[in-house]
Amino acid sequence: MDIGLLVALDALLSEGSVARAAERMNLSAPAMSRTLARLRLAVGDPLLVRAGRRMVPTPRAEAMRERVRALVADAQGLLRPDSLDPATLDRRFTLRTGFAGSIAADLLAALRQQAPNVTLRFVGEGEETADALRDGLVDLDIGVIGAMGPEVRVQTLYRETFAGVVRRGHPLLSEGSPDAASYAAAAHVTASRRGRTRGPVDDALERMGLARRVDLVVPDVHAALFAAAQTDLVATVPPTAARHAIELGLALEIFPLPVAVPEVAVAQAWHPRHDADPAHRILRDCVLAVARRLTQQRTNSA
């Protein structure tokens, strides 16, 4: 069995999911499914079998798990050109995101547990291009990643929905959650890195013969939440961000959208020259762990 299949097997056994293993290895789900088929043929065992809505390892896979993990770790240690002691790492990473308010403090705390001398610099979102990654101006891009170029690595962190948010006591909620017509008739604030006033919400309203009025456009979600807290404007944002703002003391109320808006994938993107950089790998692993933990916590607090 070649090392690539061994690494894939480790990812599948660790994640217990073809989709999550694909994300971990920066592959598509169909590609990971084909890899699982090759592994099943090579091992002569199903390895993962469906149990309800999830997949569970077979007894053979359970018996192999720790040995596979050890073999992969040994191979990675042998092939890694430089060893790294995180405790002595002294490096500043630049991250581009519109979610700094939600993740910055927790990410720095998580990184400091491994690498106490690491510092972070967050910059605002700009154009949706890979130029900053290619030129080394940004180490990691976090957000709803558009077309970045075929060479850029993209890893999904979590999937996000949307909700309506207004100040506490807003008349829109005087009779409970609003219908689509009442929601559309209100004045809105929207967040867009490129200053756009139109988004998926407007497409959904248009299909119902409705349109909303956007009175304010701000560059990020947190600016939209602050605006909503101080005015009668309605913000449409990820509910996890809204719950975080409420935890920090903003007098806001969340309500379900009266229109169907598709989920979006929040991801991290980097240039492939960082693939084998152990310090950058520490950063990526921390971002993934912190993003998923915070999302789970804020979802559970709903």
Last residue of a domain, one of 56, 79, 102: 79
The reply to whether 271 and 143 lie within a common domain is yes
127, pLDDT greater than 70: no
The reply to whether 187 and 227 lie within a common domain is yes
CATH of the domain at 49: 1.10.10.10
CATH of the domain at 104: 3.40.190.10
Last residue of a domain, one of 79, 109, 129: 79
Indicate the average pLDDT of the chain: 88
The reply to whether 179 and 190 lie within a common domain is yes
Looking at residue 219, its pLDDT comes to 86
Q: Which amino acid is located at 275 in the chain?
A: D
Least confident of 80-94, 112-126, 274-288: 80-94
User: Could you give the number of structural domains in the chain?
Assistant: 3
The reply to whether 198 and 148 lie within a common domain is no
Tokens of 174: 């005087």
Reported as a pLDDT band with limits 50, 70 and 90, residue 302 is: low
Q: Tell me the whole-structure pTM to 2 decimals.
A: 0.65
The reply to whether 146 and 270 lie within a common domain is yes
Least confident of 7-21, 50-64, 122-136, 268-282: 122-136
For the segment 156-194, what is each residue's pLDDT rounded down to a tens digit?
Answer: 998 888 999 999 999 999 989 999 999 999 999 999 877
Average pLDDT over residues 76-99: 78
The reply to whether 173 and 107 lie within a common domain is no
125, pLDDT greater than 80: no
83, pLDDT greater than 70: no
Helices (H), the chain: 3-15, 18-24, 29-43, 59-79, 100-114, 131-134, 180-185, 200-207, 221-230, 239-247, 278-300
Residues linked to residue 268 through DSSP beta bridges, in sequence order: 142, 155
The reply to whether 276 and 154 lie within a common domain is yes
148, pLDDT greater than 80: no
The reply to whether 205 and 139 lie within a common domain is no
The reply to whether 245 and 194 lie within a common domain is yes
Reported as a pLDDT band with limits 50, 70 and 90, residue 277 is: confident
The reply to whether 273 and 229 lie within a common domain is no
The reply to whether 140 and 75 lie within a common domain is no
End-to-end CA distance of the chain: 46
Looking at residue 60, its pLDDT comes to 92
Q: Which amino acid is located at 67 in the chain?
A: R
For the segment 236-262, what is each residue's pLDDT rounded down to a tens digit?
Answer: 999 988 998 998 899 999 999 999 999
299, pLDDT greater than 90: no
The reply to whether 96 and 139 lie within a common domain is yes
How many Å apart are CA 153 and CA 17, to the nearest integer? Answer: 20
Reported as a pLDDT band with limits 50, 70 and 90, residue 73 is: low
Neighbouring CB atoms inside 10 A of 224's CB total 27
101, pLDDT greater than 90: no
| CA angle, residues 246, 222, 147, in degrees to nearest 5 | 130
What is the span of the domain harbouring residue 225? 163-262
Neighbouring CB atoms inside 10 A of 144's CB total 15
Last residue of a domain, one of 54, 79, 104: 79
